[in-house]
A and B are shown apart, each in its own frame.
Chain A
Amino acid sequence: MGQFKTSYAKDMVIFPIRQDRIGVYLLLGFALVLLPLMMAFHVPPFRTDYFLLAILLPFLILSLAAIGVNILVGYCGQISLGSGAFMAIGAYMAYKFGTGISEIGLPPLPIVFAILLGGLSAAFFGVLFGLPSLRIKGLYLAVATLAAQFFFDWVFLRVKWFTNYAPSGSVSAPELKFFGYLVATPVEKYMVALIFVIVFALIAKNLVRGNIGRQWMAIRDMDIAAELMGIRPLVAKLSAFAVSSFIIGVAGALWAFLRLGTWEPLAFDINRSLELLFMVIIGGLGSILGSFLGAAFILIVPIFLTVLPAELGIPITTGTVSHLQNVIFGGMICCILIKEPLGFARLWQIGKEKLRMWPFPY
């Protein structure tokens, strides 16, 4: 029996394949040690803060949001067009908790708690707006989540309480003091985002390969059979909405505090929702890795489209760039939905399988 135990435990570790494990450790070491060192000493591409602030930081935070979206859409099969709204709830509620809620005599909370409470608030509304999913599916659910998006756009624009009655309507993040340590430089912001991403990616990975994750996927693949196995649709769907919105809310708070600093509701509009949805479709529905790949792709393409023609001396306007971008994303999503519904993550897996057998494919 003991023998069994160890062997199954071994078989169930997070990355059962040795190469994967080594790869992940290398990546973590790179992200946690080497990159910050390079940033500190301004080694290219970190000569200016551009690469860090405009690419790496957004990549990390949007990957986190994409993980949240993927849990709902990719793992539980519940389509959502309201992710931007849940980012906004995370951001504004983290702001409220971070600056104190005088009406109930709540003093400004430490920033980490404010961010987590922002996530919790998003989870609460996620569950609320997830309730229709118990009755409706597919397109109708998409419309219901779209309603959430527009509703919260309106709320944060019009309900002045959320912006502490700022006349301009825009708000600024409270002082970024993490456990007494003031986070100010881009490198420090990067480290904070990275730690959040690592922790939540790990939690997400643990959930999706455990009991609750199997329930989500069962509901996604065949909800009737799932119910006959004793899975309660109510529990499975609403827990997916809760976990997903929580992670998206935390990402929203990080986006507001670390990336934007000062923001308006426009930062979390429908475009953000669509962008996140594209990320998980292109990266891979039902894959944590895919969330990262999708976020990277969506961020890199526009930069590529701007830089490459400039390097080649081809004149290109920003208008053309954004049109081209839409064409590329649209085309890719069509291809992926038709040919390889599991996105980049699946291609990566196929590639690995091929490589493992190479050069003797037997």
Chain B
Amino acid sequence: MSSMSAIPTMSALASTSEILLAVENVTLRFGGVTAINGVSFDIRKGEIRAIIGPNGAGKTSMLNCINGFYHPQEGRITYKGETRQRMRPYVAASQGIARTFQNVALFKGMTTLDNIMTGRTLKMSANIFWQMLRLGPALADEIRHREYCEEIIDFLEIEAIRKTPVGRLPYGLQKRVELARALAMQPDLLLLDEPMAGMNLEEKQDMCRFIIDVNKTFGTTIALIEHDMGVVMDLSDRVVVLEYGRKIADGTPDDVKSDQKVIDAYLGVSH
């Protein structure tokens, strides 16, 4: 991924900007298994923050805590200056947190366009009676949000598959549609769980470009889980490293790369 290294990072900007999300001493257990063990880190506004670590380190669980799908037994999560207790995922969504999934979680029976349009749900206001008639506010909603979705479709270069049921799309494209659906929410914080897993080199490069563009053009803060170290080093402003549910390192890509604990953790794990 040498082509990527030319892209400048935004670390200078990120280190000075305010904290969007702070995770403090979070512990999450499933019965006897401690998936996350006293982890603290923060995400600054406008940065790309990578979360890395070997399989089973607790990365996905961390995202699930952030968007309210799991509720940690201990610790605090503060988002936009507000510390929350238990919250439902749709509340997190309404506060501007969007995500994609490690295993694609698209709505299989719907077209690409409809999938992306679901991302606009929270922004639509016409009541069910207008929707029955599909007139007035309901039609205005449909047209206005369709326009926005079409912009995202152009941006991610998926015009050709607009009307295709997503179940029929190849894996790489499904991942891209999933990103589109998350972007349709106009999130302040975008959580990406291994957005490039299972992709070929070309698809990976496209996806990297999209992630950087999203971050630059929309100013979206991104938390990214990724196994490809080249990608992580190129994209991210700061990296947090988890192993067996604990944080073992946190810092710029260069710091992390030379950290002995990280090197040990990844020893024997092929990437």
Contact = CB atoms under 8 A, between A and B. Distances in A.
A214 B101 contact: no
A8 B143 contact: yes
A212 B107 contact: no
B261 interface: no
11 contacts: A8-B147, A207-B131, A211-B142, A212-B131, A218-B110, A226-B118, A227-B89, A227-B90, A228-B69, A228-B92, A231-B121
A218 B143 contact: no
B119 interface: yes
Given A8-B146, A286-B109, 18 more contacts: A206-B134, A210-B134, A210-B138, A211-B138, A224-B69, A225-B105, A225-B106, A225-B107, A226-B118, A227-B90, A227-B93, A228-B89, A229-B122, A230-B90, A230-B93, A230-B94, A230-B121, A231-B121
A136 B128 CA distance: 26
A5 B143 contact: yes
A104 interface: no
A244 interface: no
Contact of A222 (B99, B106, B133, B139): B106
Contacts of B69: 224, 228
Contacts of B98: 228-229
Interface in A298-320: none
Interface in B102-154: 105-110, 114, 117-119, 121-122, 124, 126, 128, 131-134, 138-139, 141-143, 146-147, 150
A288 interface: no
B176 interface: no
A222 B128 contact: no
B224 to A, nearest CB: 17
> How big is the B interface, by class?
35 or more
Task: Pick the 4 closest A-B CB pairs, nearest first.
Answer: A230-B93, A221-B107, A225-B105, A230-B122
B107 A218 contact: yes
Contacts of A229: 90, 93, 98, 118-119, 121-122, 181, 185
Contact of A12 (B93, B94, B122, B146): B146
A215 B118 contact: yes
B37 interface: no
A232 interface: yes
Contacts of B88: 227
Given A222-B108, A225-B105, A214 B117 contact: yes
B60 interface: no
A214 B114 contact: yes
Interface of B: 67, 69, 88-90, 92-94, 98-99, 101, 105-110, 114, 117-119, 121-122, 124, 126, 128, 131-134, 138-139, 141-143, 146-147, 150, 181, 185
Nearest to A5: B143
Contacts of B89: 224, 227-228
A214 B131 contact: no
Contacts of A224: 69, 89, 105
Interface string A195-212: 000000001001101111
Contacts of B93: 227-230
B121 A239 contact: no
A9 B142 CA distance: 9
Contacts of A231: 90, 118, 121
Given A222-B108, A227-B90, A206 B150 contact: no
Nearest to B67: A228
Select the residue from A12, A203, A225, A243 with max chain B CB neighbours within 10 A: A225
A232 B134 contact: no
Given A215-B121, A227-B88, A221 B142 contact: no
Contact of A225 (B94, B101, B122, B126): B101
A189 interface: no
B18 to A, nearest CB: 25
Contacts of B106: 221-222, 225
A30 B262 CA distance: 74
A225 B142 CA distance: 22
Q: Which of A210, A217, A222, A227 has the most CB of B within 10 A?
A: A210
Contacts of B147: 4-5, 8
Contacts of B139: 9
Nearest to A232: B90
A221 B109 contact: yes
B83 to A, nearest CB: 21
A220 interface: yes
Contacts of B132: 203, 206-207
A217 B114 contact: yes
B107 A228 contact: no
B160 to A, nearest CB: 15
Given A12-B143, A228-B93, A231-B90, A207 B110 contact: no
Most-contacted residue by chain B among A5, A12, A206 (CB, 10 A): A206
Contacts of A5: 143, 147
Contact of B108 (A4, A221, A232, A239): A221
Contacts of A4: 147, 150
